[in-house]
Amino acid sequence: MKNVLITGGSRGIGKECVRSFANGGYRVFFTYKSSDREAAELADETGAIAIKADVSSFEDMKRAADIIHSTSSIDIIINNAGISEIKMIQDISENDWDAMFDTNIKGMFITVKCFLDDMIAKKRGRIINMASIWGEEGGSCEVHYSASKAAVIGFTKALSRELAPSGITVNCISPGVIDTDMNDHLSADDKKELIYETPVGRMGTGGDIASAALFLASEERSFITGAVIPVNGGFM
């Protein structure tokens, strides 16, 4: 049985990844930052192991690694934890900028550092990072979010080259407009407009993204690395 770690697993896309991987026969560990009730309910539902940890903290993630390594090692990392924010650049503070990058890209670096040796020892592994269409195209009033997700793409491409000789693939999924609580700030009219701009005629779901993660995690995908997989309904 393969072991998967999903960061930010208690809500949204992460929650659907936990469900899909658990249903797919994987042993699932997931981290969460503050959603205690949601994490406990998901763990009860799926049999996954929930670990409270902030991905932007080396101390927290080292503690999470110690918990996991007491019984298991990780075969697959899904770096999903992330935050977003709508602000004009004049209103983005230094703290806003740092918080965005600490969670969205530094968190990936820390997580990989804590679990990479598991994969190197086995000469195989999968690292799957969550980017965004806005990291590819840029989103107005989301400069710090778009920049952090563009960094995810650069991180993925560079790391894929470094780890390929160790049998480890590194890819990222680039979601389009997904119907999760991260987009709850959108008005009904905003959502209607985004659906209109999406050729398939709907917003994506967490399950759409989880399916792509399952695809990349498979043993049969060993020749796919450094890729940016768009899951956006043709939005671009």
Residue ranges of the chain whose pLDDT lies below 50: none
Please say whether the beta carbons of 128 and 171 come within 8 A.
yes
Residues involved in catalysis = 145
Please say whether the beta carbons of 126 and 177 come within 8 A.
no
Residue 204 is classified by DSSP as B
In degrees and rounded to multiples of 5, residue 34 shows phi and psi of -145, -10
Residue 140: burial class (beta carbons within 10 Å; 0-12, 13-18, 19+): exposed
Q: How far apart are CA 97 and CA 85, in angstroms?
A: 10
Please say whether the beta carbons of 25 and 66 come within 8 A.
no
The closest of 125, 153, 154 to 222, measured between CA atoms, is 125
Within 10 Å of residue 189's Cβ, how many Cβ atoms?
8
- Joined tokens for residue 157: 């491409």
Residue 108's alpha-carbon distances to 57, 156, 199, in angstroms, are 11, 10, 31
Please say whether the beta carbons of 76 and 128 come within 8 A.
yes
Q: What pLDDT shows up at residue 185?
A: 65
Q: What pLDDT shows up at residue 184?
A: 66
Q: How far apart are CA 94 and CA 184, in angstroms?
A: 25
Q: What pLDDT shows up at residue 182?
A: 64
Q: What pLDDT shows up at residue 194?
A: 77
Q: How far apart are CA 29 and CA 218, in angstroms?
A: 17
Q: What pLDDT shows up at residue 195?
A: 77
- Joined tokens for residue 21: 């991987």
Within 10 Å of residue 10's Cβ, how many Cβ atoms?
25
What average pLDDT is seen over the chain?
95
Task: Name residue, tokens 């080259």.
Answer: 161
